[in-house]
Amino acid sequence: MRGVTPERPAYVVTFRFKQPDGQEIWLEETASAEFDQIGSLLRLKGLTLDVTARKRTADQQSLLIAAMDHHIKNLLARVAVVAKGMRRGSASLDEYVQTLDKRLESMADAHALLSRNVRDGVDLAELIRCQLARNATDANTTIGGPNVMLTVAATQALGMVLHELVTNAAKFGALSTPHGRVEVNWNRGADGDAADLSIVWREIGGPTVAASPNYKYGVSIIRDLIPNELGGSVELAFAASGVSCKIEIPLGVACAETGRPAARR
């Protein structure tokens, strides 16, 4: 009887296979062989597994990692732009550091939402609540509108604009007094066929509003960021009765999806 040499190392091959019905799956084939002392093949052992689910999961993870890498690079670029732009409007180094710190916290909050919802987008109501959370309560804010999922670009830009509106309201507007309140509502038009996502910010019951502080960097963010980055429009009004702001963003840029009305708060 001829002697048998040990098994040679197993070989693993992963390949795509099209089934008779046209559906593509991924298979992983593992094989090893036994040879006799003179090198003749005695037997071949193998196992074929359907690894389609594992392959798709790995591909999705790669896409998510690439998307997060892109988000982080964009975030760092925004930080640099904000830090540079704020220098002209800061009266002192302490004011600059404090204001920059708050803006960075707001940007980090928006980024955290993106990190948790990178595949599905960020819910507009969740973004608004997140930006209001540091300066408002359920008692002095009301938000309402249909379910809308925002793109990365819309989330980042809207997050910054909302932060400036909240900060202004907390310092000088409706959120600076116990009797004031803020309402934020959004829609896609009465019939759901409007070309724009419309968001309306309205302050009620606050102190009398002074003339528009055009020299403030925060005001320039509110007025310019949406038009420059999302191709939308912003109507910011400093009426004596309270600040109001109407933001419109093309649905193709915001990638809005609507469903049942969101819960009001």
pLDDT digits 0-9 by tens, 18-72: 888 888 888 888 888 888 888 787 887 888 888 888 888 777 777 666 666 666 6
Domain with residues 11-50, CATH architecture:
Ribbon (2.10)
pTM value is 0.65
Cβ atoms of residues 85 and 96 within 8 Å:
no
Per-residue pLDDT at 118 exceeds 80: no
245: nearest Cα among 158, 180, 171, 151:
158
Q: Where in the chain is the domain with CATH 3.30.565.10?
A: 54-254
Query: Coil, strand or helix: which one is 10?
Result: coil
In this structure, whether the domain defined by 54-254 belongs to CATH 3.30.565.10 is answered with yes
Cβ atoms of residues 203 and 177 within 8 Å:
no
pLDDT over 90, % of the chain: 22
Q: What is the DSSP letter of 209?
A: P
Q: Across-strand partners of 235? A: 246
pLDDT at 204: 93
Cβ atoms of residues 253 and 154 within 8 Å:
yes
Residue 145: CB atoms within 10 A of its CB come to: 21
Q: Where in the chain is the domain with CATH 2.10.70?
A: 11-50
Contacts of 134 (CB under 8 A, 6+ apart): 105, 166
Per-residue pLDDT at 121 exceeds 60: yes
Contacts of 168 (CB under 8 A, 6+ apart): 218, 219, 243
Cβ atoms of residues 229 and 78 within 8 Å:
no
173: nearest Cα among 209, 142, 138:
209
Q: What is the mean pLDDT of the chain?
A: 79
